Structure 1
Amino acid sequence: MIDDIQLQLRTVNVTRYVTPLREGGSLPAIAEADDGFLYALKFRGAGQGVKALIAELIGDEIARVLGLKVPELVFANLDEAFGRTEPDEEIQDLLKRSVGLNLALHYLSGATTYDPTVNTIPPALASKIVWLDCLLTNVDRTPRNTNMLMWRNELWLIDAGAALYFHHNWHNWREQALRPFVQVKDHVLLPQAGELESTDAAFRLLLTPERIRAIVSIIPDEWLMSEDISETPEERRQVYFDFLTTRISHSEIFVKEAQHARQALI
């Protein structure tokens, strides 16, 4: 369980680019770090940039609080000299744009993609994941792209980078915090999520303001600074905190939407 007062991620230095992971548009890669472990490396210079990394960090650490399986997250430092010998021009450009602090997940070697036609998930677990994705407004957990892995006979969540899409239209976050998550109708686990009400009651107790504050506090300053914004990093963290706590305190809005969408399916 997360520490209520302080949360820290390890920082590693990337030492070797192993191979690209071609799934999705963000061009993640398997990379080795100076601690000897392999990681699925998410680059700040790809796709939606640091906002995808922020969504991944917040989403994964909230999942961890809720007792869901998520690979260990680390900050991954990419040196300016890294990748100069990379022959692929697209990858070399990506590495150049990603110098500095990136995000990586411990690589689950031998894991297989969750297949809803093969793997059976208990209603309690399905309800927990659906609730989490409704909170985070995570649009990327569909039958086409489940973003879940089976590893050692357990279900692991990966890739929350498409969550928290309010931060792509920053200034109406209050309105978005109170919206139902209508995309839940496409969630791969919605048919099994028959315990949303009890899940809601339990998770609202777990996700205290103190725990949310601990999570948003570890977003690096350099991910929160941009030439086109005037807010300080701390002001940006406060918006993430306010969005999440507002959404949690009004969770009945997205729970009812999920229940209605499920009834339409079954």
Structure 2
Amino acid sequence: MDLLKRNNVKIYGNGEQAIVCAHGFGCEQSMWQYITPAFAEQYKVIVFDYVGAGGSDLTAYNAEKYNSLDGYKQDLVEVIEYLNLKDVIVFGHSISSMIGMLAAIEKPELFSKLIMIGPSPCYLNMEDGFKGGFERSDVEELLEMMEMNFTGWASYMAPVGMGADAPAHLKADLENVFVSTNPKIAREFAEVTFFSDYRNRLGELTTPTLILQCAEDSIVPAHIGEYLHEHIPNNELAHMEAKGHYPHISHPRETVELIKGFLNGHE
């Protein structure tokens, strides 16, 4: 199968070193349009859709393969290897921060840096005292809402995720992206995302990592950035002024500045 078609891969930019942008749950590659132009002169920029999202080949979706993050990790690794890329910088938003981490743990030789935007290793409040932000019952209600009224779920989640201060057109754009996703696949990805727990893998990551933690994020509580900073061996934590879960959309300038500062500081 042609991976470029399967994952709707797009490549642009003038540089030798590659940046690969991995979108979060419910999203697709257009989410990166506000920050990638700032990197296109210096880097080769690759955007793609996970199988089941955006313009990917939906016939390639296999519920068994994608019933854990390993299936999505495989998408990311396969795109990188298909393009014969080395020393890749991964921009991972939300759950793709963990997908990028799993890929870098498995094949560290492929990666040079990892940028985690709004990351969380676990979204649930756990019995051991970890506060991921959601009760299991909250997530079960969310999944039920997706099943019963997908459009209603999208119109509820988009403004919550984007943040109260974000312009109305950005909230509407996000809602349109949510709605355009296959409801069954989106629900399965949501279940994989919100019930995941990768806290026990954080210590295995050796790739230099930037953690971007938003000031007010309805999906990821502020203390999660500190938790990741304490448990990932080689990282820098940046507390953003941006509010919401999509700073690369709502606050692109701040996002670009922090990423460039990290990349330039490690050259």
TM-score, normalized by length of structure 2?
0.30
Higher share in helix: 2
